[in-house]
């Protein structure tokens, strides 16, 4: 405390409540090719539904489904997975052409202010799925609904059932008709007296040479033509095809009125499916017109400073960025000369409806080993990114060969060895076991492949693939087991503790497996186990079970078991986190005693939960010598005896004579 130079009371708080914190143990990580989603950035996923929504469906291309289902299978056991979409050949569909916008950060840096000449819109994520997106802007009340007269009268009488209507001028000034517009017919210029009982017709084609409108009855799946006779010189009311999705036409917002910021700032925006690939509806069929709509933005503003009555930003580009799951705004339409400004004049009127169909989106499923390594490098930040279980996903990155397997495993191994706070899980290359008739041949393939892989206690090898149902494509597929193996570790965290083995009948049941690409016999399991491979076995009446808990460490050690490796990861992460608060304190007995008192209760708790059998914490003058103190260092030696899992059981049954006492033969 500061010295007092005159009488007084100095009050301070001393916090002695520090404890060793709990640490996460079930966070997965995977990189691979996906149908959509952010590119080269880490995305948090908590469920299979969220994986589907953000990264799309599994694809057959380049065995991409292997990575997708590895991730999905892991999420059967855990609710935390970090995903990176790999590949360099992706493009977002755009209004002009394909461009690459990797994620929101990339958009804010390079596209948010309309930089470049990319057109008005781009798909939210890269991929061919964006080629199914259409965007329409209704920027004025006239565009929303228009009572046509003058030159826009019908020419000649049209009979019941007719599918074309001739008018005086279908498009004299660019603001009359659009394909998709809804039209109805009246006998008077005030449009008060209908001649067709309020039937609305959808314009499906426009012939400017003959002034013909090809029509069909709105919402009639059979596309029926006129329901009543349309007399010569009938008047026409034209409506935007999506008008009925909004309460009223766009006009001037309350913000613009209250703040004298001009007029005509409102617009309606509709994002819709042009092909049916997104919604499943064929939007060319009458009746599906509004079913293909995927997003609606009503009464958003052209004013860059506009606010809603609730005080939220209502500028249309910002609203799209904040709310849309399908598109980015990339520029104002060329006719909107003062859009995006905070003006006091009338905003430029743009007629007719602005229609953009996005194109140029591309996929990249043929991801190279180098691209995969770059993707896994996104998980390299130990301080900024917490992960525990690294999933290998598909092993067919370069080739279905032992050499390809070596490259693949080395990539994952380099990540976990450099981080030293997580475990990697990999499966053999596909053709090692899938389609191999003899299990002995498949066993040898797996052994040879893993013999090329480095020794590491931070890696776990499994024996093959499981056969499972792909509900998204209605087929059965072989999928690598590394997602399930890692998932069983997460499951063990939930039902027991991190330092329990994930293998065996109690905690090692693999979910969703119909059969295995390799179901090893006892002799084959012996071969695999000696080769550091954990067999996955289909036992009759027990199901598919992970039947081994070895790490990929080749030398005999406590760390050649998954439970011991994960025990030490928990201890190291938790205690090192607590130790950070000793930085810049004095290396004296007070600090050292405080550290011991912090660590020992935590280790006693782990001991009570069967993680270790005994421990000792040495942090005193014997290992913090004067030389250590003078180097501004602090040393603590923590000795633990890890609990070991049972891998071998011996049962000795002894028969004795009737008159023999058990104490005589029992030892």
Mean pLDDT taken over the chain: 91
The DSSP string of 288-301 is -TTTTEEEEEEEEE
pLDDT at 398: 41
pLDDT at 404: 54
Spell out where 25-95 has E strands: 28-32, 42-45, 81-85
Model confidence pLDDT, tens digit, residues 79-107:
999 999 999 899 999 998 899 999 999 99
Model confidence pLDDT, tens digit, residues 476-522:
999 999 999 999 999 999 999 999 999 999 999 999 999 999 999 99
Could you tell me how many residues make up the chain?
667
Residue 432 pLDDT more than 60? yes
pTM (2 decimals)? 0.88
Least confident of 24-33, 336-345, 400-409, 587-596: 400-409
Spell out where 119-239 has E strands: 121-123, 133-138, 145-148, 164-166, 182-186, 201-207, 212-217, 235-239
Residue 328 pLDDT more than 90? yes
| Best CA proximity match to 20, nearest among 611, 595, 618 | 595
Contact 624, 630 (CB under 8 A): no
Domains and CATH numbers, the chain: 28-88+366-563 (3.40.50.11780), 104-139+250-357 (no CATH), 143-244 (2.40.30), 586-667 (no CATH)
**What confidence category does residue 407 fall into, taking pLDDT thresholds of 50, 70 and 90?**
confident
**What confidence category does residue 175 fall into, taking pLDDT thresholds of 50, 70 and 90?**
low
Least confident of 47-51, 274-278, 303-307, 511-515: 274-278
Whole-number Å distance between alpha carbons of 661 and 39: 75
Contact 345, 8 (CB under 8 A): no
Whole-number Å distance between alpha carbons of 89 and 104: 18
């Amino acid at each position: 405390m500061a010295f007092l130079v005159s009488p007084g009371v100095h009050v301070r708080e001393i916090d002695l409540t520090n404890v060793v914190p709990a640490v996460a143990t079930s966070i997965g990580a995977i990189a691979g090719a996906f149908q959509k989603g952010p590119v080269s950035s880490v995305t948090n996923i908590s469920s299979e539904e969220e994986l589907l929504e953000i990264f799309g469906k599994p694809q057959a291309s380049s065995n991409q489904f292997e990575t997708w289902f590895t991730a999905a299978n892991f999420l059967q056991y855990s609710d935390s997975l970090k995903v990176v979409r790999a590949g360099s050949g992706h493009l977002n569909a755009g209004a002009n052409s394909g461009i690459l916008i990797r994620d929101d950060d990339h958009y804010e840096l390079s596209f948010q202010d309309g930089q470049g000449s990319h057109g008005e819109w781009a798909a939210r994520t890269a991929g061919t799925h964006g080629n199914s997106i259409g965007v329409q802007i209704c920027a004025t009340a006239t565009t929303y609904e228009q009572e046509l007269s003058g030159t826009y009268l019908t020419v000649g009488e049209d009979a019941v059932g007719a599918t074309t209507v001739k008018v005086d001028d279908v498009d004299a000034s660019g603001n009359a008709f659009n394909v998709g517009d809804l039209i109805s017919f009246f006998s008077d210029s005030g449009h008060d007296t209908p001649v067709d009982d309020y039937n609305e017709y959808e314009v499906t084609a426009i012939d400017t040479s003959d002034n013909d409108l090809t029509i069909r009855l709105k919402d009639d799946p059979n596309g029926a033509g006129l329901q009543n006779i349309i007399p010569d010189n009938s008047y026409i009311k034209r409506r935007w095809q999506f008008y009925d999705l909004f309460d009223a036409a766009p006009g001037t917002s309350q913000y613009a009125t209250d703040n004298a910021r001009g007029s005509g700032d409102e617009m309606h925006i509709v994002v819709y499916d042009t092909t049916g690939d997104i919604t499943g509806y064929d939007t060319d069929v009458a009746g599906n017109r509004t079913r293909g709509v995927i997003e609606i933005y009503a009464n958003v503003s052209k004013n860059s400073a506009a606010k809603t009555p609730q005080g939220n930003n209502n500028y249309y580009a910002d609203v799209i960025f904040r709310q849309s799951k399908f598109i980015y705004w990339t520029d104002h339409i060329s006719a909107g000369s003062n859009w995006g400004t905070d003006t006091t004049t009338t905003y430029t009127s743009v007629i007719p409806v602005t229609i953009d169909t996005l194109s140029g989106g591309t996929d990249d499923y043929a991801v190279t080993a180098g691209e995969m390594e770059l993707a896994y490098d996104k998980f390299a930040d130990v301080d900024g990114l917490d992960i525990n279980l690294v999933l290998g996903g598909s092993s067919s990155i370069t080739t279905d060969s032992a050499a390809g397997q070596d490259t693949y495993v080395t990539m994952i191994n380099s990540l976990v060895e450099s981080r030293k706070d997580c475990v990697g899980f990999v499966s053999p290359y596909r053709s090692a076991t899938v389609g191999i008739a003899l299990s002995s041949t498949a066993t040898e393939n797996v052994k040879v492949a893993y013999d090329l892989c480095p020794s590491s206690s931070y890696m776990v090898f499994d024996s093959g693939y499981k056969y499972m149902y792909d509900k998204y494509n209605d087929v059965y597929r072989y999928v690598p087991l590394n997602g399930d193996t890692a998932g069983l570790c997460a499951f063990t965290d939930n039902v027991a503790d991190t330092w329990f083995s994930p293998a065996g009948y109690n905690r090692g049941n693999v979910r969703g497996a119909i059969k295995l690409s390799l179901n090893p016999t006892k002799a084959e399991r012996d071969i695999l186990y000696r080769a550091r491979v954990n067999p996955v076995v289909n036992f009759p009446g027990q199901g598919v079970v992970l039947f081994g808990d070895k790490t990929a460490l080749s030398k005999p050690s406590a760390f050649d078991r998954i439970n011991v490796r994960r025990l030490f990861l928990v201890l190291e992460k938790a205690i090192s986190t607590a130790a950070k608060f000793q930085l810049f304190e004095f290396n004296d007995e007070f600090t050292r005693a405080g550290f011991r008192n912090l660590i020992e209760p935590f280790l006693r708790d782990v001991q009570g939960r069967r993680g270790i059998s005994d421990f000792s914490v040495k942090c005193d003058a014997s290992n913090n010598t004067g030389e250590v103190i003078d180097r501004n260092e602090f040393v603590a030696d923590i000795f633990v005896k890890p609990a070991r899992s049972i891998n071998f059981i011996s049962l000795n049954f002894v028969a004795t004579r009737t008159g023999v006492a058990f104490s005589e033969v029992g030892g």
